């Protein structure tokens, strides 16, 4: 079947056999060249000298060779007899080459490039559902490029970025959410991010959306049937029931939309600014969270003059910690610039740690900072708790949570990390769910569906005809289709005829 897909303003023939290096650029122990398409076997076989025939799903050891000059083979009689028995659809010259290699007679002027392990995945049991051959060679860029050039010379086309995954989607092996999860899995910086992406790759979001879509499609089918087959006594739903069924679709969509606040942080991480007056232990706390001596710490106030940042993983979430200059009345121009940068970091941060000295009474600078963060996500940290007599400490933190800690001894650091995670997760409990939103595109589409459902509910309340109501319901369905894949007219018709006894 010939099918073209336009990309980068030029058509791509999806029936081409494509080739690309599947491992990252640079040198490594192993590099993989992937060949996919109907001619994968035909293109790969002449350049491979294997110790046995390729079988689907099995790895075979062998060599990559480069013919130079004559293709004439020196064949023993046994190879001649075996050739007559070959009926595998390959060109005779390629089959002959394969037989000769198995018989131990290399072609004249063949040059060995590398030892390789070759894995063959027969369609449709492969990543793209095409025939795929993966050649694992030593990770030399020169060797990998040469294998690709041999494939191109034999008729393969260099794959476009993401084309293997695009073929998997277009061939129905994965849906859009799973295709996007492939990219997220590759881009993961932490194990938790990788686990979330793996859940999405398994279809967690699609599985969560499918029952929601099913309810919406069922409502559309009922209304379509009521309009198209009114003469056959198919009942039209009363307005109250329609509103209930719209609400049954809307409620889980709202819950899904609420997971994006957490999902966005999982995907992109967040920025956490550590602020406070000089000498309260901000840099020591920063080093304790980073778990190494990243910021300079001295007993002199005002040591930190510029922003110091480091990205760490807390609970699997990438968090950029920013250590700031102590906030007070500046003593010189350099300190003034540092304090201005501190205030900018505070304004830009997703979460703020306000550090105060728990061993001393609150100062004017402390109180000013606490007022500054009243309407911000923030945690007040009482540092130097090891110096507090009797373990007592209190601060006027307003609505912000407080944690007592000691950057010197490590006391309270585990509780501080847990409090940071609690702020990240919010009250939605999204971190315990499978199939939450991590993608801005998905979030926008879910919001579009919710808006369309609100319009549909208002249409019911204002007695708009069902023909017009259906337009609003289809407007709600289309964004969900854009996430998981299209609902066809046949899907709706099949549901109509399977649900109702039309009798015609």
* Mean pLDDT, residues 188-204 taken together: 87
DSSP 160: P
Residue 19 has φ and ψ, to the nearest 5°, of: -145, 145
Is the torsion defined by CA of 22, 24, 26, 27 positive or negative? negative
Mean pLDDT of all residues in 321-350: 76
Which DSSP letter does residue 140 get?
-
Mean of all residue pLDDT scores within the chain? 79
Q: Is 34 helix (H, G, I), strand (E, B) or coil?
A: strand
Contact indicator for 317, 340 with CB cutoff of 8 Å: no
Q: According to the model, what pLDDT value does residue 226 have?
A: 74
pLDDT of residue 115: 94
Using DSSP's 3-state secondary structure scheme, residue 368 falls into: helix
* Structural domains of the chain, with CATH: 4-69+109-173 (3.30.1360.120), 204-259+437-499 (1.20.120.430), 271-425 (3.40.50.300)
> What are the C-alpha distances in Å from 73 to residues 63, 69, 89, 147, 374?
17, 12, 20, 22, 83
> CA–CA separation, 444 vs 451, rounded Å?
11
The pLDDT score that the predictor gives to residue 295 is: 56
Q: Which of 300 and 501 is assigned the larger pLDDT?
A: 300
Q: Does 284 have pLDDT greater than 60?
A: yes
d(CA 407, CA 274): 13
Decide if 469 contacts 456 (C-beta within 8 A): yes
User: What's the CA gap between 167 and 155, in Å, rounded?
Assistant: 19
pLDDT over 60 at 83, yes or no: no
By mean pLDDT, which of 14-23, 93-102, 179-188, 272-281 is the weakest?
A: 93-102
Cα angle vertex 279, ends 276, 284, to 5°?
85
Residue 8 has pLDDT above 60, yes or no: no
Place of tokens 């579009």: 448
Give the pLDDT confidence of 138-153 residue by residue, as tens digits: 999 999 999 999 999 9
For strands 110-121 and 4-7, give the pairing. unpaired
Residue linked to tokens 């650091």: 413
């Amino acid at each position: 079947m010939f099918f073209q897909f336009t990309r980068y303003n030029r058509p791509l023939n999806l029936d081409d056999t494509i080739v690309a290096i599947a491992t990252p650029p640079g040198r490594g122990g192993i590099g993989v060249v992937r060949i996919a398409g109907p001619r994968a076997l035909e293109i790969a076989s002449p350049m491979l000298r294997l110790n046995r025939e390729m079988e689907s799903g099995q790895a075979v050891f062998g060599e990559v060779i480069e013919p130079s000059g004559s293709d004439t083979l020196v064949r023993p009689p046994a190879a001649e007899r075996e050739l007559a028995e070959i009926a595998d659809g390959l060109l005779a010259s390629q089959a002959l080459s394969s037989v000769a290699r198995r018989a131990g007679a290399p072609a004249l002027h063949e040059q060995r490039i590398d030892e390789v392990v070759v894995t063959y995945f027969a369609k449709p049991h492969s990543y793209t559902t095409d025939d795929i051959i993966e050649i694992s060679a030593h990770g030399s860029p020169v060797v990998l490029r040469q294998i690709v050039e041999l494939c191109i010379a034999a008729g393969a086309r260099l794959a476009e970025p993401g084309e293997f995954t695009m073929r998997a989607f277009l061939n129905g092996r994965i849906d859009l959410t799973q295709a996007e999860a492939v990219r997220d899995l590759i881009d993961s910086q932490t194990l938790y991010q990788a686990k979330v992406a793996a859940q999405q790759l398994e279809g967690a979001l699609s599985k969560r959306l499918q029952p929601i879509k099913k309810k919406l499609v069922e409502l559309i089918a009922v209304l379509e049937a009521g309009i198209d087959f009114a003469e056959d006594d198919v009942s039209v739903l009363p307005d109250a029931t329609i509103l209930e069924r719209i609400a049954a679709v809307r409620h889980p969509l709202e819950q899904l939309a609420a997971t994006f606040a957490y999902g966005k942080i999982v995907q992109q991480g967040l920025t956490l600014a550590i602020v406070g007056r000089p000498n309260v232990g901000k840099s020591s706390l920063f080093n304790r969270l980073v778990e190494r001596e990243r910021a300079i710490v001295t007993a002199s106030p005002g040591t930190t003059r510029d922003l110091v940042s480091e990205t760490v993983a807390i609970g699997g979430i990438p968090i950029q910690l920013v250590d700031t200059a102590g906030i007070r009345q500046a003593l010189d121009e350099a300190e003034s610039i540092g304090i201005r940068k501190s205030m900018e970091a505070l304004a830009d941060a997703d979460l703020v740690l306000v550090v105060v000295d728990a061993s001393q009474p609150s100062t004017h600078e402390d109180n000013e900072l606490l007022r500054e963060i009243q309407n911000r996500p923030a945690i007040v940290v009482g540092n130097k708790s090891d110096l507090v007599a009797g373990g007592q400490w209190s601060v006027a933190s307003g609505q912000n949570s407080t944690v007592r800690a000691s950057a010197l001894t490590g006391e309270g650091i585990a509780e501080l990390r847990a409090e940071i995670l609690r702020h990240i997760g919010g009250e939605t409990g999204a971190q315990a769910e499978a199939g939450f939103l991590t993608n801005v595109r998905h979030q926008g589409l879910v919001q579009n569906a919710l808006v369309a459902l609100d319009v549909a509910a208002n249409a019911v309340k204002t007695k708009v005809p069902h023909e017009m109501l259906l337009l609003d319901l289809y407007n709600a369905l289309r964004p969900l289709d854009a996430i998981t894949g299209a609902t066809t007219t046949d899907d709706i018709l099949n549901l109509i005829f399977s649900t109702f006894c039309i009798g015609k």
